[in-house]
Amino acid sequence: MPRESHFNNHLSQEMIEVAIQLWARFSIDIVDVRLQLLQPDKPLQLNRLPTSMFIYIQGGAASVTLNRTSYQSGRFGIFHGGKGTELSICPMDTELETYMVLYKAGSTPFYKRSIHRLLEQINPFTQVYGFSPENPIFFMEKLKEMYEHWNSNVKVNQFYSKVILYQTIHQIYIELRKGNIRYFEPDYVGVVKQYLDEHYSEQVSIHSMAELLPISRSLLTKLFKKRENKSVEEYLNEKRLDAAKKYLQKSHITIQEIAVGCGFVDELNLNRMFKKYYRMTPRDYRRKMMDNFTNCDIDNDSQHPYNDRGLDRLAISKGDGELFMFGQTRSKEFVLAAATSLMLLLSACTSNATVNHAGSPNPTQSQTQAASSAETKGTETAVQTRVIKTESGDVEVPADPQRIVYLVGNNIGDILPFGKTVVGVDIYGDPSKRPEEWKQQWGQNLNGVSLVSGDDLESILALEPDLIIGSRTWTASSIEQLNKIAPTIFYNEMSELEERMTFFGEVFGMTEQAKEFIAQYKIKAEAAKQRLVDSNLHDKKIVFLQGVEEGTAGLQGDKTRGIIYNDLGMRAPEIVENKFFNSKNPKSEGYYSPISLEVIGEYLSEADIIAYTYFGPNVDELKKQLTESAIWNGLPAVKKGNVLFYSIDDTLNDYDYASRMVSLDTFANALIELPLAKKQQ
């Protein structure tokens, strides 16, 4: 587990000045300049840097790991690490351009004591840090130019690459000096997950692990619960159980050996946890898995139930001998044709028989009518599907799906208005985690729904869905894997509300109803907007903050912003809109941008209203922390009492249809109760 010192990547002004002196005194040689295009499915995994290196990434969000510490970068990021630093770069959802500048700093003669004294304070050539640049276009152009000159293999051009490197370093330290950049904070939840993934078989102490991080155990627990929707202990138990399930499929390993090897200490603990999670003992699970293998001896698909991507041509054999195929079967036409052919064959065999059917029609006529009826019924069955155009191409889906598995997290509210039966959602779609107002309006549509992980293909299969809904940016499994279970559609959950509702209207054959839902939302939004107009609030400046960790706030992005700023017509202060909400500004980080409490006044001094969402279930702790800050107490909105606090349990940050229908009332009701509104009534 990394120690606390490894997490402190912020540079003080004194450190920056010392680093600049060292850069000026050392000779720098470029070793190589590289460009890599990284894909979400082809990340850069655990490379140890052969020399010191600058890394510049652009194009999308990424998880960057330096020396086992993970950082979440935005669309642009600059990182630095010394020789031997472990580096991983995993793009989140799109291709990532990654420039790498490998360099060496010359050695220092022993008699230059002044330099050695500076190096004792800070070594800029081995330091690990990362930040979001204030001027990403400058770095994009310089790194591109440096790469082209270096790889031309012309000596004079390679010499000029060194000039560009010094220009780049100069700009880096200008931005560090100004202090307007945003340092990437370590992803503490990611650090804990990585540690548990690698050490689940050992005896792990959550308390000891938290002590090695620069945040309190209670805060770590809240952050982990918020993001993973489960406790650290639950995550650890599930990792151990997943490992145990794999080993149970190997009959030569005893259950006691599996228990010890997976971190359960003994067989008793493994039994207890297995019953809690799966309602069976490890022996029952092993017997079930062995039966599944031996009962598939005459099925030619049973030999390879898995390939390198997951489930492959899966066949489920029922106890009564009925065989259900989940694979390339696209309709029931084959079954229909076989049934029709059989009827016609029977008709041909009996047409010459001389049997007296008193009081009944001619047998041949009856059989012809039966065949005709079967054909008619078959035609009706065949049209019980429709073809939908999606971002992945045309997909044939049931005309009236009865068992939907939805794997796009808390956006489940996009399909609830259509009244379809949802049998499974991932953990972020758990209806029990929603505010009471949401449960009252929409909770009944998810009664009895099962929670399932997007990468747990076995559990998804067990729900027997007839339609799966996912997205490229959210769903853990690929569309190819899920298609082997049931027809699967991926959609863009980040598109506009009207576009999403129109799409699902087409999926469910309810286009007119979709138009009605959109119209109802617009009417409700206009009514809420009018209430703000009547209270003289529509032209006031409002900023949304989101609590992340101690001492850090974050400007909240498009989710809530879409309701308040777009639908209700309110505005943010100009500096916030320009720096964080402007898609044309490269500094804009999209949905969330953390800022320190020390500079919060710069962004909130012009705000008439502040709305603050806290990750914990109770806002009292947040209020106590903020009231101890003179900067916070000096904000105009705070002085006048125009501040709204929400806990994670009593507000919605989601932008799906159902959540927005609830949030319109939630926010409008809260806003008109503020002193600012009352004073003007």
pLDDT score for 348:
47
pLDDT score for 467:
95
pLDDT score for 551:
43
Is pLDDT above 80 for 341?
no
Distance CA 537, CA 79 (A): 43
Q: How confident is the model at residue 616 (pLDDT cuts 50, 70, 90)?
A: low
Q: Are residues 126 and 143 in the same domain?
A: yes
Residue 374 lies in a domain: no
| CB 37, CB 97: distance < 8 Å | yes
Is pLDDT above 60 for 63?
yes
User: What SS3 state is found at 438?
Assistant: helix
Comparison of pLDDT for 270 and 555, the residue scoring more:
270
Q: Are residues 8 and 109 in the same domain?
A: yes
pLDDT score for 509:
93
Q: Are residues 477 and 430 in the same domain?
A: yes
Q: Are residues 207 and 155 in the same domain?
A: no
Residue 357 lies in a domain: no
Q: Are residues 160 and 240 in the same domain?
A: no
Q: Are residues 179 and 192 in the same domain?
A: no
pLDDT score for 13:
84
Residue after which a domain boundary falls, among 294, 320, 335: 294
pLDDT score for 650:
58
Number of independent structural domains in the chain: 4
| CB 74, CB 36: distance < 8 Å | no
Whole-number average pLDDT of the chain:
78
Q: Are residues 53 and 174 in the same domain?
A: yes
Share of the chain above pLDDT 70, in %: 76
- Tokens 């603990």 sit at which residue? 269
Q: In CATH, what number is assigned to the domain containing residue 163?
A: 2.60.120.280
Q: Are residues 539 and 655 in the same domain?
A: yes
Give the domain extent around 443. Answer: 387-509
The residue-averaged pLDDT of 491-511 equals 91
Q: Are residues 458 and 538 in the same domain?
A: no
Residue after which a domain boundary falls, among 265, 294, 323: 294
Distance CA 366, CA 350 (A): 11
Residue 418 lies in a domain: yes
Residue 314 lies in a domain: no
pLDDT score for 5:
37
| CB 278, CB 311: distance < 8 Å | no
The residue-averaged pLDDT of 406-434 equals 88
Q: How confident is the model at residue 656 (pLDDT cuts 50, 70, 90)?
A: confident
Calculate the dihedral angle through the C-alpha atoms of 184, 187, 191, 196, rounding to the nearest 10 degrees. -160
Q: Are residues 442 and 541 in the same domain?
A: no
Q: In CATH, what number is assigned to the domain containing residue 438?
A: 3.40.50.1980
The residue-averaged pLDDT of 173-181 equals 83
Q: Lowest mean pLDDT of 132-136, 366-370, 388-392, 421-425, name the range.
A: 366-370
The residue-averaged pLDDT of 195-223 equals 79
Q: Lowest mean pLDDT of 107-111, 248-252, 392-396, name the range.
A: 107-111
Comparison of pLDDT for 8 and 561, the residue scoring more:
561
Distance CA 582, CA 135 (A): 15
Is pLDDT above 60 for 638?
yes
Residue after which a domain boundary falls, among 482, 509, 536: 509
Q: In CATH, what number is assigned to the domain containing residue 278?
A: 1.10.10.60
Residue 8 lies in a domain: yes
Q: Which two tokens stand for residue 367?
A: 């059989």
Residue 303 lies in a domain: no
Comparison of pLDDT for 277 and 187, the residue scoring more:
277
Residue 570 lies in a domain: yes
Residue 514 lies in a domain: no
Nearest to 183 by CA among 125, 128, 132, 137: 132
The residue-averaged pLDDT of 207-231 equals 78
Is pLDDT above 50 for 562?
yes
Degrees, nearest 5: CA angle 416-422-428: 80
Q: Are residues 421 and 449 in the same domain?
A: yes
Q: Are residues 248 and 121 in the same domain?
A: no
Q: Cβ contacts of residue 23 below 8 Å, gap of 6+? A: 124, 169, 173
* β-bridge partners, 98: 36, 57
